[in-house]
Amino acid sequence: MHRRFDEELKDLKEKILRMGAKVEEQIANAIKSLVERDSELAKEVIANDHKVNAMDVEIDEDSLSLIALHQPTAGDLRLITTAMKISTELERMSDLAENIAERAIELNEEPQLKPYIDIPRMAEHAQGMVKEALDAFVNRDATLARKVCGDDDFVDNLTHQIFRELLTYMIEDPHSIARAVRITFVSKYLERMADHATNVAELVVYLVEGKIIRHTSS
Amino acid sequence: MIEPESFAFEIIKLNAWYGSFHVLKDNSFQIRSKEITALIGPSGCGKSTFIRCLNRMNDFVPGFRLTGDVLYGKENLYAPRKNPMEIRLKIGMVFQKPNPFPKSIYENIAYGPRICGIRKRVDLDEIVEMALQQAALWEEVKDKLHQSALALSGGQQQRLCIARAMAVEPEVILLDEPCSALDPIATARIEALMMEIKKDYTVVIVTHNMQQAARVSDITGFFLLGHLIEYGETRRIFTNPSDRRTEDYITGRFG
Amino acid sequence: MKTLTSKELNQLFSKRKWADRIFIGLALGALFVALATLLTLLISILIDGFTRLSWDFLTSYPSRRPQRAGILSATVGTIYMIVLTAIIAFPLGVGAAIYLQEFSKKNWFNRLVEINIANLAGVPSIVYGLLGLELFVRALKFERSILAGSMTMALLVLPIIILASREALKAVPNSIREASFALGATRWQTIRNQVLPLAFPGILTGTILALSRAIGETAPLIMIGALTYIAFLPDSIFAPFTVLPIQIFNWVSRPQHAFSINAAAAILVLLFILLTMNAIAIWLRNRFQKKLHW
């Protein structure tokens, strides 16, 4: 049965996907602005954050009005509440991308401390997690979503590795401390992005199965 | 898991026919006591027929036939020597369209106790007042007990019917789409009433209004084409039903 | 629908209005014809008979002299007969109607019974006369008495009472019965306390209308032997009797013109009784309906 409500749900999903695409772009550009030492690009990333915020607000408003007007239940209700929460997670990720861009601008003013190898690896992995989480959302694929939850470990491990390495730099040369700390921040931001991607994946599991797996160790 | 002592009804392999039409197909489940159970489903799915099996009102339909057991408190309601009148005293019913007798408010309520043999004015007065209090109608009608029941508004008439059912002190109250002829405010009052009385009565309500089932009931059962498809806690049914058909019906994709 | 101009619309409507007017005219005409016929009859009888009405007329027995003839025995006979008929037919008829409507199952046998009752209502009254003659007068040996007459008339009006009562019972909404059953009432409690009170006005009206028909019956009573010349009042239900229609019939067949006048006067009395019965029916119905005026 073809209903207006179904169209509106479809619109909501598409808005999530567009927001996701924008966030992925922000992340990619932020990392690029660091690795290629392109501060102009970094400034663009910072300027574009408000667009992502606007999308978050729009999704919230749409969701609220769908709830008020249609009294959704079961799967429809889970879709709408999940959409609201996913948009929050995406907005956070965009903020983190903005933070990375800010650190990039600062780092670009000084000579590069070391070749960026692990950071891009982390970034690629985190981006992959975001993309897969959104794919799982679109395709209602709980298996994929669960896999994403498992991928978090890789990013966590890399964070520790990067920190240990930067620690040696800081011990050797005190002048490198500022740069090292900033790079540490970037790795932290990427780790948190991966956490947010995990949250999105957990929400997708709830959407598909009706089970809340947030805050459980599995 | 539901403990057996707290079942009011146990339905076992219930099948029913109107003539050759197989209206209820192989239903087995339990109804909890002192809770509100809502039965939902599209038109013609058999939910009204089912609820009438619980107090043998279907006995009056020519050509009606039933197999299986309906146990109330461990006794089979359809056992050969069971007295249907006795059953209906314990299991009362309120109908879709309010149907007060064309008599005074007092006489409407007093009718049930009267036919049970209670004659003394004093006793009847007490019963009438108590029933009207329980139905949250006393304050509105206490000064016009001897006026016609038909002069009341639709919502008041329905509450009168509920009071009338309660006057014979049943254990169960069955409601067959009680609010479908009422406006939203009257509906809200009856829903509030139902939540009040479930402390003392087992309530089973048939409704085609899903939001009402969601608002009011503890347990919801979904009927489709004569068969109970899904049955469980209302909260779960409305957030995460197990059966695809339940989900489609609840979200309005059919029916 | 294409939009019509104002002129076209007016033409359309005026054609329809004319059709309306013609139809109303025809209907009124039919009414007029019926009323006029009735009024003509009534007025001619009034003219003929009114002057003959007097206390003497009402309280004298029939006689060979028209001036001395009266309708006392006929009137009394009519009244006795109707009352006895009512006493016999009412409980039987209402009881049968209650059984058929409230208790009987819908099987082929009961369908047959229902169809036959409806047919009986249309059987010519003389057939009932024949039945009464064989059964009550001869077989049961009631002779040509009020009892035989009343029982015959009771058979005559029974189908009508049954039909009318059934309609009255059917008119009681089923929701009332359901409400009563749901409270644990038996069928009889429901009928006695809820259905009958509501159906009673209709039953009463039907009964009185049936009796109004009985009052005017001549042929069956002649068949069972109601006499035409009774110069005494019946002293028991086993006594012979006569009724107004028979008396009228008798007078009309006499050659003297004065007897025709008598007949006209007797017709007026009969009409008066009839109208009174109908008025009572209406009054009773209104009274009962007011009681349930809810």
The per-residue pLDDT for range B56-97, each reduced to its tens digit, is 999 999 889 999 999 998 899 999 888 999 999 999 999 999
Disruptive mutation site among B58, B95, B101 for chain C (greatest number of C CBs within 10 Å) = B101
* Whether pLDDT at B237 is above 60: yes
> With contact defined as beta carbons under 8 Å apart, do C73 and C146 qualify?
no
Interval C177-189 mean pLDDT: 94
Tell me whether B109 touches chain C (CB under 8 Å).
no
Model confidence at C288, pLDDT cuts 50, 70, 90, reads confident
Q: Which residue has the tokens 């994709």?
A: B253
Distance between CA atoms of A89 and B187, rounded to whole angstroms?
Answer: 41
Give the Cα separation of B196 and B175 in Å (integer). Answer: 15
DSSP string, A47-111: HHHHHHHHHHHHHHHHHHHHHHHH---HHHHHHHHHHHHHHHHHHHHHHHHHHHHHHHHHHHTS-
**Cβ-based neighbours of B58, under 8 Å, separated by 6 or more:** B16, B49, B52, B64, B66
Q: Do chains A and C touch (3 or more CB pairs under 8 A)?
A: no
Out of A1, A5, A74, closest to residue B247 by CB: A74
pLDDT of residue C291: 62
Give the model confidence (pLDDT) of A86-125 as tens digits. Answer: 999 999 999 999 999 999 999 999 999 888 989 999 999 9
What integer pLDDT is reported at residue C1 of this predicted model?
63
Task: Please indicate whether, in this complex, the C-beta atoms of B240 and A76 are within 8 angstroms of each other.
Answer: no
What ipTM does this complex have? 0.92
Site of tokens 């629908």: C1
Please, what sign has the CA dihedral across residues B61, B67, B70, B76? positive
CA distances to A76, B252, C94, C120, C220 from C157, in Å: 69, 60, 12, 10, 12
Q: DSSP letters along chain B, please?
A: ---GGGEEEEEEEEEEEETTEEEEEEEEEEEETTSEEEEE-STTSSHHHHHHHTTTGGGGSTTEEEEEEEEETTEETT-TT--HHHHHHHEEEE-SS----SSBHHHHHHHHHHHTT---HHHHHHHHHHHHHHTT-HHHHTT-TTSBGGGS-HHHHHHHHHHHHHTT--SEEEEESTTTTS-HHHHHHHHHHHHHHTTTSEEEEE-S-HHHHHHH-SEEEEEETTEEEEEEEHHHHHHS-SSHHHHHHHTTS--
> Which residues are paired to A131 by β-bridges?
none
Q: Using DSSP bridges, classify how beta strands B21-32 and B227-233 pair: parallel, antiparallel or unpaired.
A: unpaired
Query: What was the pLDDT predicted at B138?
Result: 93
Residue in B57, B103, B115 closest to C182 by CB: B57
Residues of A in contact with B211 (CB under 8 A): 71
pLDDT at A100 (0 to 100): 96
**Residue in chain B nearest C105 by alpha carbon:** B62
Pair of tokens at residue B205: 């309500």
Cα(A161)–Cα(A158) distance, rounded to whole angstroms? 5
**Do B15 and B29 touch, CB atoms closer than 8 A?**
no
pTM of the entire structure? 0.81
Residues of B in contact with C178 (CB under 8 A): 57, 60, 95, 99
pLDDT at B1 over 70: no
Instruction: Kindly report the number of other CB atoms within 10 A of residue C198's CB atom.
Output: 21
To the nearest whole Å, the CA of B87 is away from the closest chain A CA by 37
pLDDT of residue C293: 52
pLDDT in tens, C36-88: 999 998 898 888 888 888 887 888 887 777 777 888 888 888 888 899 999 99
Q: pLDDT per residue over A4-51, tens digit each?
A: 888 999 999 999 999 999 999 999 999 999 999 999 999 999 999 999
Q: State whether residue B150 sits within 8 Å of chain C by CB.
A: yes
CA distances (Å), C151 to each of C131, C154, C216, in order? 10, 5, 16
Searching chain B, which residue's CA lies closest to the CA of residue C187? B85
pLDDT score recorded for residue C63: 79
Structure confidence at residue A131 (pLDDT): 94
Going by pLDDT thresholds of 50, 70 and 90, the confidence category of residue C251 is confident
Confidence of residue A1 (pLDDT cuts 50, 70, 90): very low
Chains that touch A (3 or more CB pairs under 8 A): B
CA–CA dist C128, C120 (Å, integer): 10
Residue A200 — very low, low, confident or very high, per pLDDT cuts 50/70/90?
A: very high
- Which chain B residues are within 8 Å of A73, Cβ to Cβ? 210, 214, 238-239, 250-251
pLDDT tens-place string over residues A40-83: 999 999 999 999 999 999 999 999 999 988 889 889 999 999 99
Helix ranges restricted to H, chain C: 6-49, 55-59, 72-98, 108-120, 125-132, 146-170, 174-182, 187-190, 196-215, 219-224, 244-252, 257-291
Tell me the chain C residues in contact with residue B62 when contact means C-beta distances shorter than 8 Å: 105-106
* pLDDT surpasses 60 at B225: yes
Give the distance from residue B230's alpha carbon to the nearest chain C alpha carbon, in angstroms: 29
B214 pLDDT higher than 80: yes
Q: What is the overall mean pLDDT for chain B?
A: 92
Q: Is the CA virtual torsion C21, C27, C33, C35 positive or negative?
A: negative
Q: Rounded to an integer, what distance in angstroms lies between the CA atom of residue B250 and that of residue A89? A: 29
Q: Which helix (H) or strand (E) holds A39?
A: helix A39-70
Which strand ranges, in their side-by-side order, compose the sheet holding B21-32?
B21-32, B7-18, B64-72, B75-76
CA distance B168 to B93: 11
The structure tokens listed for C274 are: 């009839």
Does the structure show a pLDDT above 80 at B233? yes
Give me the sign of the Cα torsion angle A112, A118, A119, A123: positive
Going by pLDDT thresholds of 50, 70 and 90, the confidence category of residue C292 is low
Cβ atoms of residues B49 and B225 within 8 Å: no
What distances in angstroms separate CA B249 from CA A43, A69, A73, B210, C72, one per listed residue? 51, 18, 10, 9, 81
Is C179 in contact with B62 (Cβ distance < 8 A)?
no
Q: Tell me the sheet residues that pair with B220.
A: B38, B232
Query: Cβ contacts (< 8 Å) between B253 and chain A: which residues?
Result: 1, 3
3-state secondary structure B49-81: HHHHHCCCHHHHCCCEEEEEEEEECCEECCCCC
- B210 in contact with A at a CB cutoff of 8 Å? yes
Contact check, Cβ <8 Å, A74/B210: no
Confidence check: pLDDT of C235 > 80: no
Average pLDDT, chain C: 87
Per-residue pLDDT band at C228 (split at 50, 70, 90)? low
Taking an 8 Å cut-off on Cβ atoms, the answer to whether B252 and A74 are in contact is: no
The pLDDT of residue B71: 94
d(C-alpha C97, C-alpha C199), whole Å: 11
For residue range B158-205, list pLDDT tens digits in order.
999 999 999 999 999 999 999 998 999 999 999 999 999 988 999 999
